[in-house]
Structure 1
Amino acid sequence: MTPPESPRPPRSLRADAARNRELLLAAATAEFAERGIDASVADIARRAGVGKGTVFNHFPTKDHLLTAIVVARLARLTESAEEFLTGSDAGAALLDFLTLGAEQQQQLDLAAVFARGTADIQDPAEVDQARERMVRAVDALVARAREQGSVRPDVTGADVVLLMCAPSYAAGPLSRTYPDLWRRYLMVLFDGLRPEGAHTLPHPPPPLQL
């Protein structure tokens, strides 16, 4: 005799689980922004308004949670770069992308995560794949800006990916007093990408496979 099928969970429970997951991702992002990636699961649960058990139901370890956030951030950057490619003004599109990247840097320092290696990443391969997709999308965005003469001809996608964090780092020591100071350095950076008055760069670009 065929055993009866297990009853499916009510839709409300599935909706609650999805809502809790989003709350946890938002709370973890905020905690990591304030305390760095050493923020505790207890603090993340408290900010989300759930128990620690709920955190572990969705993410078995804090590394799983961090990985989910990093992959989501990279996916959003990729989708935005691909969307900006459809615009008619490639220079404006590149500036919009750099602005989004700098804004996300305020929430989670992706460069710091990558600099620590794979110690805090549950699935390095998944993160590497997400980063590679993002780098390819940025390279296409930069190539189009070069074609239109919006940026200097020797700038590459790899250059831009490495420069994305620069505005936040420049403003970092004064970020609490002047939270929007990064916008000033974003424009300094972008003006440096323009072809007008450009000098020959003293070092070749890094490979695209960062």
Structure 2
Amino acid sequence: MPAVPVASGAPVRPLRADARRNRERLLAVAEEVFAAKGTGASTEEIARQAGVGIGTVFRHFPTKEALLAAVFLGRFERLGEQARALSTAAEPGPAFFEFFTLVVDQAPAKNAFADAMEQAGVDVQGVTSGIAGELTAALEELLGRAQAVGAVRADLGVAELKALLVGASRAVEFAGDREACARTLAVFVDGMRPTGG
């Protein structure tokens, strides 16, 4: 199936204040509805909960896939903001592990969005390409600062860190109950600490 083109979410011209508020409200409600009911939730339900007509939804997001992509991109952008904020924290070690845990905790919802988008033929990498470089730069900063204070093993690079994030995210999803998830995550975290640390 050919990839479905998805608008980046950036309008060609600035939206009027009311249209901008409607768009922001739709994205917030869509994220809540998708989180509660899964990505199969209907656009009609999102419109109803947002207090707008279905036409308003489709004016901003011509397809459900475009809405999913916009919500997914918004999550990525917030993750980048959180990474940048933590990269200047006074305590680099705890900041690094806080971000790692944050990413893993959010992974089930992110993976559900990505899977739904891929099934619909949306180019997930294309949707996130604009923010991916910024997120990698923030990861490098977090990792470098944590290694500089001896909180993270020196032989860990960003490529390995990304692989660990993916692995930990899938492992925690598979683990099931909260206690098993916490123990699984602890194994990954311990493995990133210096030997004897």
| Range class of TM-score, shorter chain | 0.7 to 0.9
Cα deviation code 1:133-172 (max 9, x no counterpart) = 1122112211222222211122122332333354553343
Specify the alignment match of 1:189 in structure 2: 188
Q: Which runs of 5+ in 1 are unaligned?
A: 1-12, 199-210
Letter in structure 2 aligned against 1:104: Q
Specify the alignment match of 2:148 in structure 1: 147
Question: 1:167–1:186: 8 Å Cα contact kept in structure 2?
Answer: yes
Structure showing greater relative contact order (alpha-carbon pairs closer than 8 Å, 6 or more residues apart): 2
Distance in 1 between residues matched to 2:24 and 2:112, nearest whole Å = 20
Cα deviation code 1:45-68 (max 9, x no counterpart) = 234343321211221222221222
Alignment of 1:84-123 (within 5 A): 84-109=86-111, 112-113=114-115, 116=118, 119-121=121-123
Deviation of 1:194 (Å)? 0.7
Structure with bigger gyration radius: 1
Percent pairwise identity: 38
Deviation of 1:84 (Å)? 1.2
Deviation of 1:111 (Å)? 7.9
Question: 2:68–2:117: 8 Å Cα contact kept in structure 1?
Answer: no
Q: Which runs of 5+ in 2 are unaligned?
A: 1-14
CA RMSD of aligned residues (A): 3.3
TM-score computed with the length of structure 2 as normaliser: 0.73
Match of 2:42 among 40, 47, 59: 40
Question: Number of residues paired by the alignment?
Answer: 183
Distance in 1 between residues matched to 2:44 and 2:143, nearest whole Å = 42
TM-score computed with the length of structure 1 as normaliser: 0.69
Question: 1:143–1:157: 8 Å Cα contact kept in structure 2?
Answer: no
Cα deviation code 1:106-154 (max 9, x no counterpart) = 5432784499389225x85452121221122112211222222211122
Q: 1:89 to 1:29 in 2, by over 3 A?
A: same
Matched residue SS, 1:108: helix
Specify the alignment match of 1:172 in structure 2: 173
Specify the alignment match of 1:158 in structure 2: 159
More helix by share: 2
